[in-house]
Amino acid sequence: MKYLPLIWGTLWRKKTRTIFTLLSIVIAFLLYGVLQTVDYAFENPSVGVDGADKLITTNKFSITLLLPFSYGQQIRSVPGIAHVTWMTWFGAYYQESKNFIFAMPIDADSYFSVYRKEFIIDAGQMAAFRKDRQGALVDVALMKKFGWKIGDKLPLHSTIWTQRTNGSLDWTFDIVGSFDARDPTEASQHSSSVFFHYDLFDEGRSFGKGQVGWFEESVDDPAQSAAVSRKIDAVFANSPNETKTQPAKDFTIAFIKQLGDIGFVLHAILAAVFFTLLFLTGNTMMQSVRERIPELAVLKTLGFTDSRILGLVIGESLLLCVFAAVVGLALSYLLMPIVKHGLEGIDLSHGAQPAGVGLAVLLALIVGLPPAVRAMRLNVVDALMDKR
């Protein structure tokens, strides 16, 4: 520690070079912080406050094919199942197709039995929703985005479901209440959600009656999720509509995997960033030591041991890299709200920042070691004679 002022001093020997090198490292770690956090979010999707005990049952053959409504009764009788609810993809937008709305017909009783803790809903508004057939519950952020108020009519265009009465794709609901995610980090996942009544949907649509898109279940014991999933699928094996049941988390991971190997792309970019950074920082450290050869020789003459010289140069490298890395990682942390905005619906609560500091130490050792060894091996007489 007592050498810190010395190391700090040598670092600022060439101000411009140090500043530019610092800035480069800051930028690299800024990218590292952002990309790693995004990567983590994709690999470990959040499944909600009480997501651990949730299962999803879809049509095994195709996610777009429906399942008979009667399956719900059969699933309920599978041992280990606590509650079952059902939903269908409504494919809605508001006014223009770019305003995608995640509108979902739900059966209020069973839905809020499966999702007991997920949402904060005012008891009065919940009661109003249960009473009003045309009623809809809207996410608070979505209400704000479009300036909707309780009592407003909500016209939504479904790209799939025509109405039995007039063949129209335009459905109208009454906003009777709003809901918010209990866990604020999950709020973005619901930021375009609207719930309305399954009964209204099933009776109102012109085709597909008595069929549902998928089932969602909660189990008594989360540790048994996989076993219960297999039991459900066994019930429907060899029927025309075989099912595929998986824990909610696996379902989400599988869906994200379908986007492609995002992890590979992010890691490839980071590899390119750090490869170039290695050169840049390495060059700075080399130059810095080369210029100081006479000074280092003087230190040796004064009685600094070889290992102490080695320590000094590595210390300089560590200071440079770790200091800049911490700044870069801190910046990446501050940038998170912007990234989050761009990646709607993805949880970015996990920080990759601590691991970044470890990487900075590694970088410092790699770029610091060659010049440090060179400094350590200096022959005092030769070095002192060398003007440069």
Partner 1 sequence: MFKQLFAVSLMSLRTLPQRWGASSVIVIGIAGVVAVLVSVLAMAAGFRHTLADSGRADRIIILRRGSDAELNSNLTRGDIDTIENAAGLKKDAAGRAVLSNEVITVVNIPKLDTGTDSNVTLRGVGLQVLKVRPELTIIEGRMFRPGVRELIAGAGAAKQFRGLTVGSVLHMRNADWTVTGIFTSHGDVHESEVLADVDTVGSAIERTANYSSAVGLLTDAAAFDRFKDALTTDPQLKVDVEREPDYYAAQAKELTKIITIVGNTVAVIMAIGAMFGALNTMYSAVDARGLEIATLRAIGFGAAPVLLSVMIEALVLSFLGGALGGGLAWLFFNGHSVSTLGAFAQVVFQLTVTRTLLIEGVLWACVIGVLGGLFPALRAARLPVAEALRAA
Per CB under 8 A, does 166 bind partner 1? no
Which one of 67-75, 77-85, 226-234, 255-263 is the stretch in contact with partner 1 (CB under 8 A)? 255-263
Q: Closer CB to partner 1, residue 258 or residue 307?
A: 258
Task: Please report the sign of the dihedral spanned by the C-alpha atoms of residue 297, residue 300, residue 305, residue 308.
Answer: negative
Q: Which is nearer to partner 1, 97 or 165 (CB)?
A: 97
Nearer to partner 1, 5 or 342 (CB): 342
What are the phi and psi torsion angles at 57 (to 5°)? -115, 120
Closest to 360 measured CA to CA, from 290, 284, 281, 288: 281
Does 64 sit near partner 1 (CB under 8 A)? yes
Interface residue with partner 1 among 20, 43, 79, 117 (CB under 8 A) is: 20
Nearer residue to partner 1 within complex by CB, 206 or 305: 206
**Is 157 one of the binding residues for partner 1 (CB under 8 A)?**
yes
Q: How far apart are CA 388 and CA 379, in angstroms?
A: 14
Question: Which listed range, 118-126, 241-249, 351-359, 368-376, lies at the site for partner 1 (CB under 8 A)?
Answer: 241-249
H, E, C per residue of 295-350: HHHHHHHCCCCHHHHHHHHHHHHHHHHHHHHHHHHHHHHHHHHHHHHHCCCCCCCC
Q: 261 or 382, CB closer to partner 1?
A: 261
Rounded Cα–Cα distance for residues 40 and 42 (Å): 5
| Helices and strands of the chain, counted as H and E runs | 14, 13
Task: Candidates 244, 292, 300, 340: give the one binding partner 1 (CB under 8 A).
Answer: 244
Q: Are 36 and 360 within 8 A, CB to CB?
A: no
CB atoms within 10 A of CB 292: 20
**Residue 68 CB coordination number (10 Å):** 15
Asked if 39 and 263 touch (Cβ cutoff 8 Å), the reply is: yes
**Is 162 a residue that touches partner 1 (CB under 8 A)?**
yes
Binding range to partner 1, per CB under 8 A, among 25-33, 78-86, 217-225, 370-378: 25-33
Choose which of 7, 11, 31, 348 interacts with partner 1 (CB under 8 A): 31
- How many other CB atoms are there within 10 angstroms of residue 67's CB atom? 23
Query: Which of 147, 151, 210, 240: binder of partner 1 (CB under 8 A)?
Result: 240
* Stretch of 75-83, 108-116, 152-160, 228-236 lying at the interface with partner 1 (CB under 8 A): 152-160
Rounded-to-integer distance, Cα 187 and Cα 113, Å: 20
Tell whether residue 207 is a contact of partner 1 (CB under 8 A).
yes
Length of the chain: 388
Residues that bind partner 1 (CB under 8 A): 16-17, 20-21, 23-24, 27-28, 30-31, 35, 60-65, 91, 97, 157, 159-160, 162, 167, 169, 207, 238-242, 244, 254-255, 257-261, 265, 268-269, 272-273, 275-277, 279-280, 283-284, 286-287, 342
